[in-house]
Structure 1
Amino acid sequence: MQSNQKAHSASDSFRELLDSLSTEQRCNQELLSSLGFALRSFTNLHRFLELVPVVASRLVGVEGALLVPFQADGRLWREQIQALPFDQNQELLRQIASLEGGLSIGFGSDPTQLVDLDRLVQRHMSKANIFATSLVARGKQRGRLYVFDTQGAVSLSEVHRRHLQLVADLAGVAIENDQTLQEIRRHESVDRQLSIGAEIQAQLLPDRCPEIEGVQLAARCRPAFQVGGDYYDFMSTRPELIGKTREKGRWALVIGDVMGKGVPAGLLMTMLRGMLRAEVLSGLPPDRILHDLNQLAQVDLEHSHRFITLFYSDFDPCTRRLRYANAAHNPPLLWRAEQRSISRLDAPGLLIGLQFDANYGCGSITLEPGDVLLYYTDGVTEAPGIAGDRFDEPRLIKSLEESCRNGLGAQEILNKLFARLDHFVGIDHQLEDDASMVLLKVNDELTLPIIE
C-alpha cells in the first residue's frame, strides 16, 4: 500500500514539473512573440528599446537587464540606453554615458573599447552575476545587452542563451531599421496623409474642452503629414447629469497613442475609444479600467500586431482628487504652485495589448490652487529640431516651468508650449509624428464647494 502511495506521489510530482515547464515555455514564447510584433509595428525606437530589458529579464528570471545601443557611426547612443530597474541603476547609466571614448566614432566596433565597457558594468555590479551578449545586424555591432542578478548566480541554460541572443538580434534589427528609416527620410519627402485617415483622427478628438468646476482645460493636436494614433478625451462618469451638476461631477481625462501610423492606427484608436467610453460608465478605479480595457482589446490588437500606450485619470472637482493609472505612456508633468517645482505622475503598467493578464498600478494626488498638469504624447518630445536633436522632456519641462512661474492661464500656457515647439522644429519643417498636449490648471483662487 505504501509503495503504491509513493509511486502515486512521484507521478504527481513529475506531472506538476512537466506542467510548470510547459507554462514557462508558453510564457517565454508569448514574450518573444510580443517583441516580434512590436518590432514589426513600432514607429518609435525608444519605446521599442524600453521593452528589451523587460523581456530579457523575464525570459531568464533575473532581476535586471541593461541595454547599451550604438549609433550608426559606432558612438554610444546615450539617449537610448535602457536599464531595469531604472531607479537603482542611475549611477551606472551616468558612468556609461560619460565613458571615455564613448563619443568617438567607431567606439562600438573597437574590441578594446567593448572590453572597457564590460569591465565598467562588472565593476559597478561587483556583487552581481552578469551575462552579456552583442547586438549585431548586417554584420555590424549595434550594442550590448546585459542581464544580471544580485541575489544569486546567473546560471543560464542553452535555451536561455538562445532566447537572449534572439532578443539581442531583434534589438539590433530595430536599431538598423530605424537608422535606415532616418536615412530614407533625409532623401525623400513625406507623402501627404490620406484624407480619410485625417477625418478618422479628427473625429476622435473633442472639438472643445468641457466645463469642469474649479479648473481650466486646454487641448490641441498638431498633426504631422501622416495620420498618427494620437488620442485624448474628456468623459463625464455621469453623462446623465446636465449643467452645473455635470460640471461638479467626476470626469475622466485620458491620452493615448497607437504604435503605428496611418488609417489602421486611426481605426484602432476609434475601436479603443468606444471600449473606453463604455468602461468609464462602470465607475471602476483607473487601474481596473486599464486592466479590463487591455483584456477587451487583446484579440483585436493581437491580430493587428500593434500596441497602445494610454494614461487614464479621473478627477473629482469636489475634492480635487485625481486618480490615475498608466499603460506605458509618457508620464504627465505636474507643476506644484506652492513648491514651484515639476514632477512626473506615473504608475507601473504594460502597453495595452502586450500581455493578456497584465496588471496596472493606481496612484492618486490632491491638486492644489495654481497646480498645472500637462498630458502629452511622444510626438512632442520626439520632435526633431533643425540641428537634428530632439525636443526631449527636459526642454518641455523648462518651457512648462517658465509659463507656470508667470501665472498664465491654461490656454496661454498651451499656446506658449506649442510656440516653443514650433520654433524648435522650424517654420518650414514638418513634424514626423502628431504632437498632442492636454493641460489642466486648478484655478488660483478656489473655494471648495460645500457637500450637503
Structure 2
Amino acid sequence: MTTTVPPASLSTLLQPSPGPVLALKQLVARLQRENSKIQELLASLSFALRTLNNLNQFFELIPLITSRVTEADATALVLFRADGQVRLEQLHCHASDQCPNIRSALETATRTLANGLANVDPTHAQDSLESQLDAQLAARIPPGIRFFGTSILVKDSQLRERGRLYIFTQAPTYDWSETRQHLMQVIADQTAMAIANDELAVKLRERQRLDRELEIGAEIQKNLLPSHCPEIRGLELAAACRTASWVGGDYYDFIPITYGQGDHNTIAQGRWGIAVGDVMGKGVPAGLIMTMTRGMLRAEALNGHRPSRIMQHLNRAMQPDLENSHRFVTLFYAEYNPQTRILSYSNAAHLPPLLWQARTASVRRLDTYGMLIGLDGRAQYQEVAVQLEPGDRIIFYTDGITEAENPQRERFEEFRLQAALRQACQLALSPDRVLEHIFTTVSQFTGPVKEEQDDMTLIVLSVTD
C-alpha cells in the first residue's frame, strides 16, 4: 500500500531541527565572545606595557592575564636575575585547594636552583637553566597537577634566558593546544620587552647621571685652568687647552710667585711661574690627578722654591699616590723674572718647549734631565736658565699636538711644529695669531678626525721688551 504525504508535511520534514542550529549559533557566539575577551586582555597588557613606569606593577598583570587567556588553574612568573638569582616573581592561583602546594613547589624549586643545590644528572650538566628549573619543579609538584612552561627571552648582545612563564592545571581533559601555546608566547614576549625596556631605561638614567657628573667635572676643571692670561711686564701671552673628552689630563698654569706681596702692578713686575703638564691617560682619573698636581705645584711655587727644588718636592709628595694609581705626570715648570728677562726652568720628562730666538732666527729646545713625576721618589732634577731678548717666542705644548695623526696614521711630530712656529714668527704674528696658526696647521694635517685623539694644550709667550 502506498502512502501519500501531504506537501506541507514533506516541507516540514526537510527543514533542519531547530535544536542543532541553535546550538551551533550559541557555539559561534561563545567563541566570538572568548576571542573578543582574549583580544581585550592582550590589548590591556600592551597598554600597560606602554604606560606603566613601574616594572613590578606590570609583572603583577602577567599571571592574571595568562590565567584568563589559557583558562589555567594557576599561573606563575619566574625570573632569572642578572646576578644569577632565580626568583618566583608572581603567582596567580584560583585552585584554592592546591594553591599552597603549587607555591611551595615553586619556591622550593627556585631556591634550590638559586643555591646551586640542584641534583642534576652529569649527563645533563649542560642543560639550560630552564630545563633544570622544569626538572626541579616536576620533582616537587603534587600528583594530579600538570604544568606547562614558556621561555622569556631577552635580546641584548645575544639572546638570553631571563625567565619562565608557567601554567598549572588539575583538569585531566585540559589540552595544551597550539592556540594556548601561541597566547602564552605572546605574553612571554611582552614580558621580555618590558624587561628589556626597563633595563634600557636604567642604563639611560645611569648614562645621564654620569654625563651630568662629567659635565660638572669638566666645569670644575675649566675653572681650575686660567680663565685668561695674566699681565706680566715685558710679555704677551696666549694659551688654550682642547680636551679630547669631558675631563682631560692636560694642565697649564700661570703662578704669581709674589702673590699677596703687593698691588696689581707689583705682581705684574714680580716673578711668575709658568707650568705645562700632562697626566698619562684621559678622562676622570687623569683629571683628578691633574687637580692634585695643580694644588701641590702652586703651594710649592708660592713658597719661593727654585724650579728644580719644586720638582723634587712635588715628585716625593706625589710618588706614593701615583704609583698606586699606575699613572704618572710629565711636567715642565719655569720661572720668569721680568726685571732680568731670565727664564729658569726644570723638566720632568715633558716635551721640551721650543724657543724662537729672533736675533738668530733659529729654534732651540728648552730641556733638562728629569724623570716622570711619580716614577721614582729619589729622582733628582736639573735646572737651566736662559736669557730672553725682545722678539723671542716660546711655545709650551703637550703631546696631543705632536702625536696628532692623519688618515695615513702619520704623526704631526716636532719637526712640523717647529716649521709652523718658524712661519708664524717670520710673519711676526701676535701670540693669539700664533696659537691659531698652530692649531689650524694641526687640524689641516689630521683632516676630519674620526677617532678621539689626545688633549691638546698650547701656550705662546712673546717677549716685547
CA distance in 2, matches of 1:343, 1:301: 32
CA distance in 1, matches of 2:217, 2:420: 31
TM-superposed deviation, 1:198: 2.2
TM-superposed deviation, 1:368: 0.3
The amino acid that maps onto 2:247 is V
Tell me if 1:403 matches 2:456.
no
Deviations 1:86-111 (A, max 9, x none): xxxxxxxxxxxxxxxxxxxxxxxxxx
Whether the 8 Å contact between 1:218 and 1:411 is mirrored in structure 2 is yes
Partner of 1:185: none
Tell me if 1:289 matches 2:325.
no
Query: Normalized against structure 2, the TM-score is what?
Result: 0.53
The counterpart of 1:328, out of the listed 349, 365, 369, is: 349
TM-superposed deviation, 1:194: 3.5
The counterpart of 1:417, out of the listed 426, 438, 448, is: 438
Partner of 2:215: 195
Deviations 1:336-391 (A, max 9, x none): 00000001000000000000111000000010010000000001100111322111
Whether the 8 Å contact between 2:245 and 2:283 is mirrored in structure 1 is no
CA distance in 2, matches of 1:412, 1:305: 38
Q: How much identity, in percent, do the aligned residues show?
A: 50
The counterpart of 1:426, out of the listed 433, 447, 457, is: 447
The counterpart of 2:378, out of the listed 357, 365, 371, is: 357
Partner of 1:205: 225
Q: What does 1:269-348 align with in structure 2 at a 5 Å threshold?
A: 269-348=290-369
CA distance in 2, matches of 1:428, 1:381: 15
CA distance in 2, matches of 1:320, 1:435: 28
Deviations 1:301-336 (A, max 9, x none): 122111000000000011000000000000000000
Partner of 2:284: 263
Deviations 1:148-169 (A, max 9, x none): xxxxxxxxxxxxxxxxxxxxxx
Whether the 8 Å contact between 2:400 and 2:457 is mirrored in structure 1 is yes
CA distance in 2, matches of 1:385, 1:294: 35
Q: Which has the higher contact order (CA 8 A, sep 6+)?
A: 1
TM-superposed deviation, 1:261: 1.3
CA distance in 2, matches of 1:295, 1:345: 24
Question: For this pair of structures, how many residues does the alignment match?
Answer: 254
Which structure 1 residue ranges, 4+ long, deviate > 6 Å from structure 2? none
Q: Secondary structure at the match of 1:194?
A: helix
Whether the 8 Å contact between 1:200 and 1:267 is mirrored in structure 2 is no
Q: Secondary structure at the match of 2:352?
A: coil
Unaligned runs of 5+ in 1: 1-190, 447-452
TM-superposed deviation, 1:282: 1.6
Whether the 8 Å contact between 1:225 and 1:430 is mirrored in structure 2 is no
Q: What does 1:23-62 align with in structure 2 at a 5 Å threshold?
A: none
Whether the 8 Å contact between 2:242 and 2:455 is mirrored in structure 1 is yes
CA distance in 2, matches of 1:268, 1:322: 27
Q: What does 1:30-109 align with in structure 2 at a 5 Å threshold?
A: none
CA distance in 2, matches of 1:236, 1:242: 12
The counterpart of 2:250, out of the listed 230, 249, 259, is: 230
Whether the 8 Å contact between 1:333 and 1:375 is mirrored in structure 2 is yes
Whether the 8 Å contact between 1:315 and 1:322 is mirrored in structure 2 is yes
Q: Secondary structure at the match of 1:352?
A: coil
Whether the 8 Å contact between 1:197 and 1:262 is mirrored in structure 2 is no
Whether the 8 Å contact between 1:226 and 1:433 is mirrored in structure 2 is no
Q: Secondary structure at the match of 1:254?
A: strand
TM-superposed deviation, 1:427: 4.0
Whether the 8 Å contact between 2:403 and 2:412 is mirrored in structure 1 is yes
The counterpart of 2:238, out of the listed 202, 218, 241, is: 218
Unaligned runs of 5+ in 2: 1-209
Q: Secondary structure at the match of 1:311?
A: strand
Q: Which structure has the bigger radius of gyration? A: 2
C-alpha change, 1:319 and 1:430, in structure 2 (3 Å) is farther
